[in-house]
Homo-oligomer: A and B are copies of this chain.
Amino acid sequence: MIQFSINKTVFLQALTITKRAISSKNAIPILSTVKIEVSAEGITLTGSNGQISIENFISIQDENAGLLISSPGSILLEASFFINVVSSLPDIVLEVREIEQQQVVLTSGKSEITLKGKEAEHYPRLQEVSTAKPLTLKTSVLKETINETAFAASTQESRPILTGVHFVLTENHSLKTVATDSHRMSQRKLILDKAGDNFNVVIPSRSLREFVTVFTDDIETVEVFFSNNQMLFRSEHISFYTRLLEGTYPDTDRLIPTEFNTTAIFDTAKLRQAMERARLLSNATQNGTVKLEIVEGQVSAHVYSPEVGRVNEELDTLEVTGEDLVISFNPTYLIDALKAANSEQIKISFISPVRPFTLVPNSNELDFIQLITPVRTN
């Protein structure tokens, strides 16, 4: 029968992180609960939606937590409701005490709230991932890589493999990360400081977006482990499990062109603002595109909607080389690409109006490349 007292703020923080894996509308009702396991060493909070699972450990060693454990045990509590109740408590210290029949009493100040829970044995087992031979990554590097690629993954389930991000480690140091929804592609390459066993996995982009939120900037490194169909990101207190996508990721290397006929360098922020204006009107057109014209070194953007109006925009460039060109594309893809490009200047290279064009940071052309497919118009 559980009994402990804890700092409310620390407990709430840990619950809120765990909650990110919990959906209150899960088809499996028990997955809307948080599992609370109290041992002599501390408290483990577990949440899962079947795809992602998060385990969060609060140690008795953690001074901020002020955790005093009188009696161990485990229980399941409705996650959203429990978090609301804890956050409403009046005092900074909270005492949790299990009484008969899976009931816990929360005491804080002069407030006493009794909640009904469920037996912890009913909670599904999370798949085990062997924690031998970790690959250690800097959290900031991994998060940046995710931010640069995950947005380009597909949100449509028609080709499930494209809803993931392809992570490949070769030669124990070379990490390649790619995502594509077949209209655009984003690829980041980097060399790891520390060696690891080679791997080739497809991680759901949704899981990666949760990873970015759960692993805050104060967590310097994460250990990464793989099993057959799961992986685990682990820091000192948090274990974040996600399922992997099954199937073979398409060969994206062959899509990347190497020879171009026209190249222009833009200020990233200005180009993005121009495309955001263009998008306001392109949304009201039939094919939703903006037309880019490169004529004698001058670049301009155009949208015409018979119902709403038109945009004509002269674009500032830092350099234009090669042939004249007229090309149409969905401005949202370019806006997303420019958001992901963490660089003040961007180099865009074209082959022809019907071939994908590439974007690379003007400073570093090798490690980060994006591809956007144009739309044919007549």
Contact between B81 and A277, CB atoms less than 8 A apart = no
In whole angstroms, how far apart are the Cα atoms of A309 and B106 in the complex? Answer: 11
Contact between B276 and A88, CB atoms less than 8 A apart = yes
In whole angstroms, how far apart are the Cα atoms of A315 and B110 in the complex? Answer: 7
Contact between B314 and A110, CB atoms less than 8 A apart = yes
Contact between B273 and A88, CB atoms less than 8 A apart = yes
A366 touches B (CB below 8 Å): no
* Residues on B with beta carbons closer than 8 Å to the beta carbon of A113: 277, 281, 309-312
A236 touches B (CB below 8 Å): no
* Residues on B with beta carbons closer than 8 Å to the beta carbon of A270: 90
In whole angstroms, how far apart are the Cα atoms of A307 and B312 in the complex? Answer: 63
1/0 per residue, CB under 8 A from B, across A76-95: the answer is 00100100110011100000
In whole angstroms, how far apart are the Cα atoms of A88 and B335 in the complex? Answer: 14
Tell whether A85 pairs with B115 under 8 Å between CB atoms, given A110-B314, A110-B316, A314-B110. no
Contact between A311 and B112, CB atoms less than 8 A apart = yes
In whole angstroms, how far apart are the Cα atoms of A89 and B115 in the complex? Answer: 54
Contact between A116 and B280, CB atoms less than 8 A apart = no
* A92 shortest CB reach to chain B, Å: 14
Contact between B88 and A280, CB atoms less than 8 A apart = yes
* Residues on B with beta carbons closer than 8 Å to the beta carbon of A81: 280, 308
Q: Tell me which of A81, A111, A308 has the highest count of chain B C-beta atoms within 10 A of its own C-beta.
A: A111
Contact between B308 and A90, CB atoms less than 8 A apart = no
Contact between A114 and B309, CB atoms less than 8 A apart = yes
* Residues on B with beta carbons closer than 8 Å to the beta carbon of A116: 307-309
A32 touches B (CB below 8 Å): no
1/0 per residue, CB under 8 A from B, across A112-148: the answer is 1111100000000000000000000000000000000
Taking CB atoms and an 8 Å cut-off, the chain A residues in 258-309 that contact chain B are 270, 273-274, 276-277, 280-281, 307-309
Contact between B313 and A277, CB atoms less than 8 A apart = no
1/0 per residue, CB under 8 A from B, across A305-333: the answer is 00111111111100000000000000000
A103 touches B (CB below 8 Å): yes
